[in-house]
Amino acid sequence: MTKRGKCDTCRLRKVKCDQKRPCGACSIKRRPCTYEAASFFEEGVCHPTGTRCFSVFRQEADSPLTLSHYSPSKRGTFLTFAAARKPLDLTCAARLLSSDDSQLATAWTGMIRESSASWSWWDRFVSCVTTRIGSDPLVDRAIDFTLESYTTYRHEWDCGYDQVAQKRGLTALTTLRHALCGTPDLDHTNVLITTGLFCVAELFRAIPGVWSYYVHMEACAKLLAYSKAKNYSELEETLLYLIVLEEVDHAMCMSKYGASEGFAEALSTIMNLLVRLSQLAVLQRDHVHSIENRPQTLNIVALMLSLYEASDGVKAVVENCAMAIPTKSNLIANVLSESYTFKSNYHFDLAIHYLTYRSLLCGLIQSFYYSLPSNEPNDMASVMDLPAVQEEDEAVSRNIAMCIEYAHGSPDAPCVPLRFNTPLKHAFGSLNRIQARKAAEGRMKESREAARMKHLCYLYGIRTLRIWGIGDHVTPSEEYFGSHYHTAVGGPPWQQEKYFDEEGLFKEGT
């Protein structure tokens, strides 16, 4: 309290605050409190966010509380907090999704569907929450966590709402996630829900605050649907896929305007998320999902083309990208370690594509490195960890080949669809480089293993072309991999009988 009987927050918000009637912020700090929620909504008092005041708040403020240790001040603060309709409100609300209360779930569903077009559902949802304060431990815990994060950044209102909202929303979700994960009486469902929200919160740093709000709403709506269906792996995949798409757009904007630091950060995020997406493709192999219902490709190819076309600032982009590349060879190597058996081509498609996109990004970095003038790579050597990039390339390429081998290793297995051509081509090129490098280092065993996997990629590529009627009237090697294949491996596979048996499979020891 100040000498004038007002705290700093209240002075900014034009709300009276004194020892007899402190505001919510003062009461949370354990100052004497006889404050009632209705005082925030007296006629003529303007809410700090400029939003309208709702009659339901005044009505609910006079409702009795079930437990005495929940003071009216906490309730009033929550009502004020809910009136803002900002991401933190949704955080608190999403925490309630695991509740078995049908009335609460119905109100939440209606609020999400109506969005900002109608305020009636929001009023109804807040009414449901406030009537359960003190009687529902789940509601109490959610309010405690959100109020704690809300008051942390309350003093920063004068800094600009968009920036504060992003920071406050991310902090709230982080706090909520760690608190829930550390609570022994909550089941795994609650942890998954809040983890998904935490992933969505990562979007706050890349897009405007207003858009973050609607993205958050969309994600929460998905959370409700998936929490009822118990498809948590698919839920996480959906949220991560949304983030990857946003990060790709963000990276393209950063590249367009020459913001190399922002581009490097977005690129690093994309690479990490692609690894997790490939893991999920394996984990949910028992779930069959129609691939026609999702985009056929991420826009990473467009991102790469835009970067290749950018002639200015290439060195700066390379420097920042090099520092952003994480060394996760072991993680990639373990992506398919649990099982190489896929129940459908859909999961095989996902695992291959996500790993390939990540490997393509590694190849992009190497291309940038070698495209610099001859005098610059020496300067770049101190910045770019090229061996780490090569390890990434090697690990991903090997996993692509191993995935193909284990998923389609038997003669009667379904053939790889034509849409796998790009992953196969890239794996072939990478393994060819690995073979040459290992041979130059005198590591012949590893060189032969790379050659075996390289021919494996080629073999399935040829099978694919013949299934589609392409390999009967063209030279498969030139059509599929280009004319450099003959010089790279010494001829097409059918001329190298030492590698294959009569059924077209690899001989033992080759």
Q: How far is CA 156 from the centre of its chain?
A: 28
Other Cβ atoms less than 10 A from the Cβ of 293: the count is 6
Q: 260-283 and 232-256 helices cross at what angle (nearest 10)? A: 160
How many Å apart are CA 331 and CA 323, to the nearest integer? Answer: 19
Tell me what pLDDT residue 446 has. Answer: 76
User: 94-106 pLDDT, tens per residue?
Assistant: 444 444 455 655 6
Tell me what pLDDT residue 440 has. Answer: 86
- Count of helices and strands (H, E) across the chain: 23, 0
8 Å CB contact between 73 and 182: no
User: 41-75 pLDDT, tens per residue?
Assistant: 222 222 222 222 222 222 233 332 222 233 344 45
Measured over the CA atoms of residue 227, residue 233, residue 236 and residue 242, the dihedral's sign is negative
Helix (H) or strand (E) holding 73: helix 72-83
User: 223-281 pLDDT, tens per residue?
Assistant: 545 555 555 555 555 555 555 655 666 665 665 665 656 665 665 556 555 555 555 55
How many Å apart are CA 365 and CA 392, to the nearest integer? Answer: 11
How many Å apart are CA 159 and CA 29, to the nearest integer? Answer: 22
User: Measuring CA to CA, which residue among 361, 456, 362 is closest to residue 400?
Assistant: 456
From residue 163, alpha-carbon distances to 145, 337, 413 in Å are 21, 42, 54
Phi/psi for 500 (5° steps) reads -130, 150
Tell me what pLDDT residue 436 has. Answer: 80
Which stretches of the chain score pLDDT less than 70? 1-427, 429-430, 453, 456-510
| Residue given tokens 């240790």 in the structure block | 69
Phi/psi for 66 (5° steps) reads -75, -40
Q: What is the pTM of this model?
A: 0.33
Tell me what pLDDT residue 441 has. Answer: 85
